[in-house]
């Protein structure tokens, strides 16, 4: 067994983890980045479409190009990288001492660290989680699997495709299938609005004449050996299929794009509190979980729709780790809860100190036009022409906003503009 010691260990070599490890090293900490695959990059490595990095690099890059930029930053930073390294478990030995048990090609490595940044990403929801019954033949993929097959390995998973759910990856894959000569019969979305960004609805579906069936659900898959058709029904306001509205769509492939869930199992085993609204950990403004010195960032914290936010969270967690390592803990007198007000489905972080600025990431429950996004206790308000569940709201709470304000809690709410 090998023992190694670092100020900070980062689990997960995607955008959030790469940004966290690089930033920690840039701040003068000794940092190790632990990745289970044989290369860094994470999800963007299989994203060959543009739209990445407009905020971080000020350029419109493909996911792959974006990943290489971050890999170069990690290399320059001096952070150590462990590849093909699986995290088995984490032992919290003391307030500022954790041991990450890693199974690596050279054997078992015990990585001793004072702060830990958890950035293991999210997993896709599967067909088993969205109430689709029927046969289980070949030809059912998650959107990410289809993307990996097509865009990393050049394999077309099928020719006649129905996409279940209209999350961004599903929309992106609808376009990829159409471009590579497959026929996308429909994108079926249970909600009355699309799950992905509107620019993806327009450029991936409208451009290729792909029908988007809103308020519809795939209720059954049928096929012997291979998918032969799906049964689709309209749903009512309770999202349950309406009897008598079923129809069939013949197809050989079903792609499930039903959203992501943070990979929080390891955090739960460490004893971190989980927010049911995000599926990720409860955190403060430096993205520290309820386990002192354990931070979370990226899709493991909350499912983001822009990679830029994952990078920002990674850097924020690294700043937290620096404060923690140098001060033996985070110096905050009092944490105030961030409450979810009107039309707010989720909000991260869950606690703020008021002693430094914070960034809040939130999603609304339902689309709404002509609204104010506001925090009444701080007198902060921002106009938005529209808000949609698919587009994350990012709100900065500057340090100055807290000055001279006595606070018990903050409320984030979305209200109609008078």
Partner 1 sequence: MSEVELVCIVCPASCTLKAQLAGGGLEVEGAGCARGVEYARRELTNPVRHVMTVVKVRCGDLPVVSAITSKPVPKSCVFEVVKATANLEVEAPVELGQVLLENVCGASLVATRRVRRVSGAGCPASPANP
Minimum gap (Å) between residue 104 Cβ and partner 1 = 21
Q: How far is the CB of 340 from partner 1 (least distance, A)?
A: 20
Contact call for residue 62 and partner 1 (CB under 8 A)? yes
Instruction: Specify the pairing of strand 86-94 against strand 97-104.
Output: antiparallel
Dig out the tokens for 229 from the structure.
């058709």
Span near partner 1 by CB under 8 A; candidates 48-56, 287-295, 339-347, 397-405? 48-56
* Sole binder of partner 1 in the list 198, 214, 242, 277 (CB under 8 A): 198
Does the footprint of partner 1 cover residue 199 (CB under 8 A)?
Answer: yes
- Quick check: 113 and 29 in contact, CB under 8 A? no
Tally of CA atoms within 13 A in the half-sphere of 123 that contains its CB? 7
Question: Is the bond into 235 cis (omega within 30 degrees of 0)?
Answer: no
How many residues are recorded in the chain? 418
Q: Shortest distance, CB of residue 63 to partner 1, whole angstroms?
A: 8
Q: Is 391 in the site for partner 1 (CB under 8 A)?
A: yes
Q: x/- site string to partner 1, residues 166 to 185, per CB under 8 A?
A: ----------x--xxx----
User: Does the footprint of partner 1 cover residue 57 (CB under 8 A)?
Assistant: no
Which of 105, 107, 154, 379: binder of partner 1 (CB under 8 A)?
A: 154
Closest CA to 171 of 140, 133, 137, 199: 199
Q: Does 68 bind partner 1 (CB under 8 A)?
A: yes
Q: Is 384 in the site for partner 1 (CB under 8 A)?
A: yes
Q: For residue 54, state whether it binds partner 1 (rule: CB under 8 A).
A: no
Pick the piece of the chain touching partner 1 (CB under 8 A) from 129-137, 149-157, 246-254, 276-284: 149-157
Q: Which stretch binds partner 1 (CB under 8 A): 46-54, 113-121, 253-261, 275-283?
A: 46-54
The least distance separating partner 1 from the CB of residue 135, rounded to whole angstroms, comes to 31
Instruction: Tell me if 164 sits within 8 A of 227, measured CB to CB.
Output: no
Do the beta carbons of residue 412 and residue 349 sit within 8 Å? no
* 385 lies in the site for partner 1, by CB under 8 A: yes
Q: Which of 5, 36, 101, 203 binds partner 1 (CB under 8 A)?
A: 203
Asked if residue 206 binds partner 1 (CB under 8 A), the reply is yes
Q: Are 417 and 380 in contact (CB under 8 A)?
A: no
Interface mask toward partner 1 for 341-370; x: CB under 8 A: ----------------------------x-
Q: How many CB atoms lie within 10 A of CB 86?
A: 12
Contact 203, 294 (CB under 8 A): no
In DSSP notation, 120-176 reads: --EEEPPGGGTT-EE---B-EEEHHHHHHHHHTT-----SEEEEES--HHHHHHHHH
Q: Which is nearer to partner 1, 347 or 390 (CB)?
A: 390
Tokens for 274, please give them: 């989980």
147, 47 contact by CB (below 8 A): yes
Least Å from the CB of residue 303 to partner 1: 17
Of 130 and 384, CB closest to partner 1: 384
- Structure tokens belonging to residue 255: 């792609």
CB of 406 to partner 1, least distance (A): 35
70 within 8 A of 64, measured Cβ to Cβ: no
13 neighbors 66 (Cβ within 8 angstroms): no
Which position among 5, 36, 48, 183 is part of the footprint of partner 1 (CB under 8 A)?
A: 48
Closest by Cα among 335, 337, 336, 340 to 277: 340
Positions that interact with partner 1 (CB under 8 A): 48-50, 62, 64-65, 68, 150-154, 176, 179-181, 198-199, 201-203, 206-207, 369, 384-388, 391
């Amino acid at each position: 067994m090998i023992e190694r010691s670092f100020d900070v260990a980062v689990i997960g070599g995607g955008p959030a983890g790469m940004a966290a490890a690089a930033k920690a090293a840039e701040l003068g900490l000794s940092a190790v980045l632990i990745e289970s695959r044989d290369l860094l990059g994470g999800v963007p490595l299989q994203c060959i479409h543009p739209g990445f990095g407009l905020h971080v690099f000020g350029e419109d890059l493909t996911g792959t190009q974006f990943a290489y930029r971050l890999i170069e930053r990690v290399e320059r930073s001096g952070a150590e990288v462990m590849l093909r390294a699986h995290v088995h478990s984490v032992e919290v030995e003391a307030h500022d001492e954790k041991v990450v048990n890693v199974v690596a090609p050279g054997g078992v490595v015990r990585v001793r660290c004072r702060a830990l940044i958890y950035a293991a990403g999210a997993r896709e929801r599967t067909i088993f989680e969205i109430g689709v019954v029927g046969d289980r033949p070949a030809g059912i993929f998650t959107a990410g699997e289809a993307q990996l097959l097509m865009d990393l390995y050049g394999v077309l998973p099928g020719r006649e495709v129905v996409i279940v759910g209209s999350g961004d990856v599903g929309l992106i894959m609808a376009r990829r299938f159409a471009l590579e000569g497959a026929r996308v019969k429909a994108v079926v979305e249970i909600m009355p609005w699309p799950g992905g960004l509107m620019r993806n609805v327009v450029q991936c579906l409208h451009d290729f004449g792909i029908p988007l069936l809103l308020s519809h659900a795939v209720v059954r898959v049928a096929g012997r050996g291979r998918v032969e058709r799906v049964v689709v029904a309209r749903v009512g306001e309770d999202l349950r299929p309406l009897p008598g509205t079923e129809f069939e769509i013949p197809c050989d492939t079903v792609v499930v794009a039903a959203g992501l869930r943070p990979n929080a199992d390891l955090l739960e085993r460490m004893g971190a509190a989980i927010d049911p609204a995000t599926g990720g950990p409860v955190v403060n403004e430096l993205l520290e979980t309820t386990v002192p010195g354990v931070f979370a960032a990226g899709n493991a914290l909350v499912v983001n729709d822009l990679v830029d936010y994952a990078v920002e969270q990674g850097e924020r967690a690294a700043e937290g780790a620096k404060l923690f390592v140098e001060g033996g803990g985070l110096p905050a007198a009092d944490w105030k809860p961030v409450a979810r007000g009107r039309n707010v489905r989720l909000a991260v972080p869950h606690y703020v100190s008021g002693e430094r600025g914070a960034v809040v990431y939130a999603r609304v429950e339902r689309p709404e036009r002509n609204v104010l996004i506001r925090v009444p206790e701080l007198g902060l308000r921002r106009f938005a022409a529209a808000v949609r569940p698919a587009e994350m709201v990012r709100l900065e709470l500057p340090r100055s906003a807290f000055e001279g304000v006595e606070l018990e809690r903050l409320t984030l709410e979305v209200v109609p503009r008078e």
